[in-house]
Amino acid sequence: MKYERTIYLAHLESLQREIDKLNKRAKRNGWDLLEIEVTESYWREVKRRDHFHNWKTIQQLVCDVVLTVPETTFDGWKFLASVEAINEVGNTIRSLSEEDLPDWVRTVEMSRCDHCGAHRERKKVYVVKHESGELKVVGSSCVKDFVFGHHNVQVYLAILEHIAEGWRAEVGGYEDGDPEMAGAHSRAMNGAETPHIINMGVAAIERYGWMSNSKARELLDVESTAGVVYRHMNGFLHKNEEPIKVEDAHKEKGKAVLEYLRGDDFDPDKKRLSDYEWNLSVIASGEVCTFNNAAFLLSGIAAYDRMMGQKAEDARRAEQSSSDWVGEEKKRLDLNLKVEFARDFEGTYGPRRMTKMVDDSGNVFVWWATSMFLEPGDVVEGRGTVKEHSEFRGEKQTVLTRCNFEILEGVGV
Ligand SMILES: [Zn+2]
């Protein structure tokens, strides 16, 4: 796996030292070595908030780093993912390899260990794959027995997971320079009720804007929304910083966000979820959420905002669009159309061109062509059958099939 990151130039030396240490261990065990590539250093300008939450522009001396972590195999087995039990809905998946995982892993029984066969409560299991293709689920304490003679394998796994997580703690994001703060953090809450974390997130975003963990990492030393929520829920406030209070309006939006995350868009029975969507749906379905998973949960607010933005955009387009459905489903139509847009797709049965056309009244027609590839600007005349009347992003579209066109003007063939 390759990991790309921008870091302060001042941090390069310590990173290099860490990697040297890991590679020493790797050499001793005969594992492949981690590789690091570093660009020339450069200055960049970053906008960030200071502790009083005023925006200011600062200069950072940084370099880009690419870390390549080899896919080490142990007696022919390699690690695909770590799987963590969250609740009765399922597990969250952290991919440790570039290979795709089968969906059953998402709900695999955590009591299962294909190595020892012992049924017991487990918080975490690993999915491993043999060169022959065989997949196994192995309990975390069995990992080192599983790959005999590789007692350092747990260390290796810890490294992999640490790197996958982003080289530093996801939530909180505190450097442990301040011992007093570190003590306070170790006494901090481990988690809270899911709706409350979301409500706090809504209120935090209203005040400070949305900042994902990955964006915060990219900007260096910028606090993520999850970080703000963690601090405020645990009472670690900056000097002169007003505590974030959840008002009724925050609760109302929080409720809508949770309904969205627990609804059809995140239902694995309704559509194929990506790993990200799956993890989010599992975490959101829980009554409580740990701070480790809070960043994931809070990204659901941003997802909700994007969805609402898209809905508003669709409504605006529907309002503006003069397109109406034409004809009747399954009936032939005489057509006189102009091609507005064309895009090629590679399908199971070869290439298809999605062709979007309009008639004189502004009605929109869509045709998935496999033979006649028209170009934008072409004017065609002919016949086609109405396959269905559909709607895309607020626009009514008449979907055509079995078209027979003659090009009157244009460049298509
Ligand atoms: Zn076991």
Cβ partners under 8 Å of residue 325, min gap 6: 363, 389, 396, 397, 398
pLDDT tens-digit readout, 106-132: 999 888 899 888 888 888 898 989 999
Cβ partners under 8 Å of residue 407, min gap 6: 374, 378, 379, 380
Residue 138 CA to ligand 1 centre (angstroms): 6
pLDDT tens-digit readout, 206-245: 998 899 888 887 788 788 899 999 989 888 888 788 899 9
pLDDT tens-digit readout, 352-403: 899 999 999 999 999 999 888 899 999 999 999 999 999 888 889 999 999 9
Q: Which has the higher per-residue pLDDT, 149 or 50?
A: 50
The pLDDT, as a whole number, for residue 19 is 82
Q: Name the band, by pLDDT with cuts 50, 70 and 90, for residue 134.
A: very high
Task: Say yes or no to pLDDT of 180 above 50.
Answer: no
Surface-to-core class of residue 125, CB atoms within 10 Å of its CB (0-12 exposed, 13-18 middle, 19+ buried): buried
Cβ partners under 8 Å of residue 305, min gap 6: 210
pLDDT tens-digit readout, 328-337: 999 999 999 9
The Cα–Cα gap between 236 and 223 comes to 13
Residue type, position 281, single letter? S
Terminal alpha carbon distance of the chain? 44
Residue 100 CA to ligand 1 centre (angstroms): 24
The pLDDT, as a whole number, for residue 156 is 66
* φ, ψ dihedrals at 225, nearest 5°: -60, -40
pTM for this predicted structure: 0.70
Average pLDDT over residues 282-291: 91
Task: Say yes or no to pLDDT of 61 above 50.
Answer: yes
Residue 133 CA to ligand 1 centre (angstroms): 20
Surface-to-core class of residue 220, CB atoms within 10 Å of its CB (0-12 exposed, 13-18 middle, 19+ buried): middle
Nearest to 201 by CA among 215, 188, 211: 211
Task: Say yes or no to pLDDT of 186 above 70.
Answer: no
Average pLDDT over residues 278-297: 91
Q: Which two tokens mark 173? A: 């994001």
The residue behind tokens 């130039």 is: 9
Residue 29 CA to ligand 1 centre (angstroms): 23
Residue 122 CA to ligand 1 centre (angstroms): 10
The pLDDT, as a whole number, for residue 157 is 66
The pLDDT, as a whole number, for residue 236 is 84
Residue 141 CA to ligand 1 centre (angstroms): 7
Residue 67 CA to ligand 1 centre (angstroms): 32
The pLDDT, as a whole number, for residue 162 is 61
Return the bridge partners of 2, or none: 68
Domain 332-409 is found in CATH 2.60.120.200 = no
Nearest to 192 by CA among 277, 292, 91, 261: 292
Residue 50 CA to ligand 1 centre (angstroms): 49
Task: Say yes or no to pLDDT of 173 above 50.
Answer: no
Residue 114 CA to ligand 1 centre (angstroms): 7
Domain ranges of the chain: 2-68, 77-165, 179-315, 332-409
Report every protein residue that has its C-beta within 5 angstroms of ion ligand 1: 113, 115-116, 139, 142
Is 1 within 8 Å of 97 (Cβ atoms)? yes
